Amino acid sequence: MSIFRLFIKVINISPDENFSLKSAEIRKNKDVTIRPMKLEEFDRVAEIYLNGFRNKYVYLVGEKYLQTAQNLYIKHLKSDKNIRNGHYVAMVNNEIKGICRIRTFKDPENIFTFDIFKSLLTLPILSLFKALFSLLTVDYIERCEKNEGYVDILAVDNTYRGKGIGQSLLSRADEECYKRGCTKISLLVVLSNFRARRLYEKHGYVPTKLYLGRRIFLFGTEVNNANEIIGFFKMEKNLEALQN
Ligand SMILES: CC(C)(COP(=O)(O)OP(=O)(O)OC[C@H]1O[C@@H](n2cnc3c(N)ncnc32)[C@H](O)[C@@H]1OP(=O)(O)O)[C@@H](O)C(=O)NCCC(=O)NCCS
């Protein structure tokens, strides 16, 4: 049993065999193009990322250090080719309006590099601890199983939400993961993120696991939750239907 089970409760959700989600009706927005991120786009990508997950970073480093967190993210992107290559951008009128990261079981994840650790040392001591705890748990719960793909940090510029950009990014993630030999794709979503959950369900994802834990281990976007217990759903989608 992993040591993380002492801090995080994991509940498996058995799929209902008779339940079929229509992952149809995917609205294609023809004004949106999805492509891999280019090197010169680090700043804009980090900006969308920090805006999309602002609450999480306010909790982690406080308002005062948001810019530092953004700079750390850029540094992280610059230093790790594997992470960088997994970033995709959604373009509307030649401008980046959405982002996501796609990775598969074939892409090794190395969260604890010396560089990252050195950068974390620039944060206040409490933030450093929070960051270390959450990196450890994220490393544990985001590990891909064999033939699994994973979509992460999906975020859309807040003035462009509700226009199908999130759906286009998810469709691209399906295609990329399928091409790279994955039979399923998964993601994590905070329980209270109803908008994102609705988007994923519509796209054919179903919840397969529930993670519950103290906020310091599972920092997410939930705020002021009683007892600071927060939860994430792991949601999965079968990619085998893409064969047809
Ligand atoms: C979640 C997020 C990425 C969705 O991106 P988006 O481009 O707005 O999504 P889409 O336009 O493709 O919307 C698709 C579906 O999301 C749901 N949705 C979108 N806007 C919604 C709203 N205002 N209320 C409820 N559901 C909404 C709907 O199911 C919608 O489909 P429909 O409009 O056909 O009914 C975006 O809201 C975001 O960046 N949020 C902040 C970061 C975040 O929470 N990321 C997810 C982490 S797990």
Distance from the alpha carbon of residue 11 to the mean position of ligand 1, in angstroms:
26
Within 6 A (CB) of ligand 1 lie 27, 52, 154-156, 161-167, 189, 193, 195-196, 198-199, 202
**For the domain 3-243, what is the CATH superfamily, name and number?**
Gcn5-related N-acetyltransferase (GNAT) (3.40.630.30)
Contact of 51 with 155, CB cutoff 8 Å: yes
The atom of ligand 1 lying closest to the CA of 187 is 48
pLDDT average, residue stretch 218-229:
66
Query: Tens digit of pLDDT for each residue in 94-133?
Result: 999 999 999 999 887 766 677 777 878 888 898 888 888 8
The atom of ligand 1 lying closest to the CA of 170 is 12
Of 161, 174, 211, the residue with max ligand 1 atoms within 8 A of its CB, to mutate for a pocket test, comes to: 161
- The domain segmentation of the chain, as residue ranges, is 3-243
Question: At a CB cut-off of 8 Å and minimum separation 6, what does 6 contact?
Answer: none
Residue 35 pLDDT grade (very low, low, confident, very high; cuts 50, 70, 90): very high
**More confident of the two residues 57 and 16:** 57
